Chains A and B, each alone.
Chain A
Amino acid sequence: MKNIRKGIGLTMIICLLSTFLYGCWSKKELTEIAIVVGIGIDKNENGTYRASVQVVNPRNITSGQQLGGLTGPPITVYHGDGHTLLEVAREVTKVVSRELLFDHCNLVVIQEDLAKEGIKEILDVLERSPDFRTTALIAIAKGTKAQNIIKTVTPVDYVSAQKITYGLENTQARLGENIALELSQFINDLYHVGASPVVSGIEMIGDEEKAASEENAKSTIPLANVKINKLAVFKEDRMIDWIDGDKAKGIIMLRNLLKGTVVNLDWKEHKEAISVTIHRAIVKIKPSYKNGKPTFLIKGRFEGNISEVQVPIPLNEPAMVAEVENILSEKLKKMMEEALDYAKEKQTDLAGLGEKFRLKYPKEYFQLRADWNEKILPEIVVDIKVKSILRRTDMKFEPFFIKD
């Protein structure tokens, strides 16, 4: 009995000790790592990739007074060239003293020209790597190189990658023309082919030369800045066009990604006289399959407030509000129809109709899959039904300039 007990004890001790053997395996002290917050990917003329990593200098972000640290640029950008992204990442170590930590990389910016050529190939490593998170947002550098976006020093949010991610989320929630698209969603769209992704664009404004300089952040009017603008339309993994305005909003509505927006309505002869804030939007797409042809019923339900009125409308009458609701429904319907027509014209499934169809009719979809975009999509009959509800008229009923 004693021997058995001894044996058990010994085994347990050996087991415990063995946990120490592989200890410190993935240990990285904070002072040994460089925190990457954004990556820009460009294609060089000789066909190699150039990746620019935006690394934070933590000491220069927090008010460095009690740390007695140097004041310097909040971010540092390193470049590397190579045929694969992994090669580039290792190439960068030639110029960085610390191990690059990709866990906190929240932004991947891709050059417009590269996006037009197709970006399937470079996304694999981002999805495969255990260090990289596919929750990072993806954006397209519009009319400039991705490295220029990455190296820009921006005011308020000193780390420009953070500025862009916050900005994407903010504009999606407020204006609804752009989306904060996660890399995983992007890859998901590509993978199923039943949907083609749309990605927000980012462009440089101001003096591109001074974007990387520290004085940019110190100036009250930034000398150069990055701006989220337009939506890049993809056909499968190739970018084909830029859109904005109602068309962009329509696509975002169809994808049920709209979180909030403002819609201007006409009132009788007055153009764009009423502004409505949409704060809740639910769009459901229901596919059906009849006589070898897919049809879709799109049901939208929008809730909002009347936020601005430039014409005298007696809003204290419920009938008036109901009328505005009708106009709003019409307008929203038109926006979605326009977006769909655009998608049909470009033969790219921006609304993700194919994906919806696949989920309900998997067998039929795989028969139609091969020429979904080219033949099926332009022929699809879509019925859009919109219901809008105006919850309140904010602080007032009638505008003060109404005449009795």
Chain B
Amino acid sequence: MSLFSKPFGKKKKNDKNRPEEKPVSQDPRGQADWIEKQFLDQNLDKNIEFLQKTTGNSSDIQYRHVTLGGNSGRKACIVITEGLVENLLVLGFLESILEKEMDGQIPSEQMMEQLRERILPISKVGTVQTWTDLFHALLSGQSILLLDGMAKALTVSTEGGEFRSIQEPTSEVSIRGPKDSFTESLITNTALIRRRIKNPNLWVERLEIGKVTKTEVNVIYIKGIANDKIVQEVKERLQRIEYGQVLDSGTVEQFIEDQTFSPFPTVYHTERPDVVSSNLAEGRVAIVCDGSPFVLTVPALFVEFFQATDDYYARFDISVAIRFLRVIAFFISLIAPATYVAITTFHHEMIPTILLLSIAAQREAVPFPAFLEAFLMEMAFEILREAGIRLPRFIGQTVSIVGALVIGQAAVQANLVSPAMVIVVSITGIASFATPSYSVAISARLIRFAIMILAAFIGFYGIVISLMFMVLHLNSLRSFGVPYMEPLSPMIFSELGDTLVRMPVRTLKMRPKLISQKNKFRLKTEQQPGPSGNKRKKGDDNG
């Protein structure tokens, strides 16, 4: 426990619950921490002065002074952050404050109560006492109502402003299935999940991480299916993050992942709400990070990275074939150039004579050893691909034409590489795009070079060694306590239906055992439709 309860998160949690405990103190570490310890003043002017001082008179923070309760009224001030609020909402509640009759003589306490209960036409209104909470509310788009004579402020939920609307997913395109994807708004993202799982057991817990950015993070899981220990572990790991800028879930991922020095990701990320929903239903925990259209789910399994959404929406025979194809493509992208190098430099006896002669004829004028040739081509391909991603779309096309001409045609004509090598590199490149998950495809790209080097030294022996090391490494990985290679290793037969193939949905009766550890059954009854009136026995598979 002592490991987990290090400083930051824990302390802050206490602050929120029992603010009076903390005495005012100066903290040399930064302004944010200094604010943390302070309470609001009774004097409105002092409060406003403090606000202005703390925010350095930032121009986007606006103050609107009003008087409540007619002539004998009391001064009040509404503070908003421009752009983060929905202007119509602010206008609406300002209107009702100014119009509604109020008795100016009543104590401030009562007045605030009245405002809250009768006057403000906004569903979510809260009270804050500390500057920490006030700034948090203000900077996340709520309007603050400060009242003279009160050491408290009302927060009115007026969040809004401009956001990218829900669009089609860009990195995980599917032919069939939902076309929406997450956006940068935490609320929208959470709603997208909630919209799919209308279940009171879908629990959402909000955390705040990032010392500078104060990014909100939602931990979402289904109570009763998710493993409580994993949920606890996720929350603890998130609270441990003590890092200035958390701008994307990618940063969060790197802080909570089990193994940093591994080419394989142990946290799954997706921009598709349907994938997250399905993962939640399997007992995983989702981490939605404000400002990021990618949602993390843990624990991640290796096979998960080969499962595309289309697999589950297409019919089973198609899915089986395509899933299998994808696994083959992964291996091609991993070892194709290495195999070429090994065969042409060590194992000439392994290919048919005609093919050997054909390759030999092509390599006759190439001045480089096979490894160097492969390495050059792979490098060129990687550079092209990287450049293609960064460049604006219209220039990207130019690059691809130049790349195709230079590498496909000119390099061959100049006898720098052999045509066979171009074919191998192209197949490898295309195969690496067949992996649905970019993060595993990119791992394969990295490992490919290592395998190539070993293959150049010791041929197939090297390829086998590197694959063995890869398998050993994969077996050593854990994602939030769950073996990464599950259900292949440890072998869990009831779950093999959704690994290298995807068996019919009605046969996938079990949830991943090691993830959920309770509530294991997805479906308990036989789902095969049959002729009406013909009641089938339980467990009769063929109907």
Contact = CB atoms under 8 A, between A and B. Distances in A.
Specify the main secondary structure of chain B where it touches its partner.
Answer: helix
A29 B370 contact: yes
B457 A23 contact: yes
Interface stretch (B126-134, B350-358, B376-384): B350-358
Given A28-B345, A30-B348, A67-B365, 16 more contacts: A19-B457, A23-B457, A24-B458, A26-B346, A27-B345, A27-B346, A29-B363, A30-B360, A35-B353, A58-B357, A59-B361, A59-B364, A67-B361, A67-B364, A104-B348, A104-B356
B457 A103 contact: no
B107 interface: no
Which 3 pairs of residues, A with B, have the shortest CB-CB distance? A23-B457, A103-B349, A58-B361
A101 B358 CA distance: 16
Contacts of A292: none
Interface in A19-74: 19-20, 22-31, 33, 35, 37, 56, 58-59, 61-62, 64, 66-69
Contact of A61 (B344, B357, B457): B357
B471 to A, nearest CB: 15
A339 to B, nearest CB: 34
A22 B465 CA distance: 15
Contacts of B482: none
Nearest to B366: A31
Interface in B326-356: 344-346, 348-349, 353, 356
Identify the interface centre among B353, B370, B458: most chain A CB within 10 Å of its CB: B353
A133 interface: yes
Contacts of A172: none
A152 interface: no
Contacts of A103: 348-349
A128 B458 CA distance: 24
A66 B417 CA distance: 13
B362 interface: yes
A22 B454 CA distance: 12
Given A30-B363, A58-B357, A19 B458 contact: yes
Given A26-B459, A30-B363, A62 B356 contact: no
B359 interface: yes
A24 B369 CA distance: 12
A56 B355 CA distance: 13
Contacts of B412: 66
Contact of A30 (B349, B370, B413, B465): B370
Given A27-B345, A27-B346, A37-B353, A19 B465 contact: yes
A106 B465 CA distance: 32
Contacts of A33: 348
Interface string B2-28: 000000000000000000000000000
A171 interface: no
Interface in B230-274: none
Nearest to B359: A30
Contacts of B357: 35, 56, 58, 61-62
B462 interface: yes
A230 B458 CA distance: 47
A22 B366 CA distance: 26
A58 B359 CA distance: 8
A162 interface: yes
Interface in B142-200: none
B358 A62 contact: yes
A70 to B, nearest CB: 10
Interface in A144-188: 162
A35 B356 contact: yes
Nearest to B349: A103
Nearest to A106: B353
Contacts of A24: 457-458
B345 A35 contact: no
Contacts of B345: 27-30
A212 B322 CA distance: 54
Contacts of B415: 67
B457 to A, nearest CB: 4
A69 B364 contact: yes
Contacts of A37: 353
Given A19-B457, A19-B458, A104 B360 contact: no
A59 B353 CA distance: 14
A35 B352 CA distance: 12
A35 B358 CA distance: 12
A96 B344 CA distance: 21
Interface string B450-470: 000010011100100100000
A67 B362 contact: yes
Contacts of A68: 365
A34 to B, nearest CB: 10
A133 B349 contact: yes
Contacts of A106: 353
24 contacts: A19-B457, A19-B465, A20-B457, A27-B346, A29-B369, A30-B344, A30-B345, A30-B348, A30-B359, A30-B364, A31-B363, A33-B348, A35-B348, A35-B360, A37-B353, A56-B357, A56-B360, A58-B357, A58-B361, A61-B357, A62-B358, A67-B365, A69-B361, A104-B356
Contact of A58 (B348, B360, B369, B459): B360
Contacts of B356: 35, 104
Contact of B346 (A19, A20, A28): A28
Looking at B344, B345, B346, B361, the one whose CB has the most chain A CB atoms below 10 A away is: B361
Contacts of B366: 31
Interface string A93-117: 0000000010110100000000000
A66 B465 contact: no
Contacts of A31: 360, 363-364, 366
A33 B345 CA distance: 10
Nearest to B465: A19
Given A19-B465, A28-B348, A104 B361 contact: no
B267 to A, nearest CB: 25
Nearest to A133: B349
Listed residue (A26, A56, A62) with the most chain B CB atoms within 10 angstroms of its CB: A62
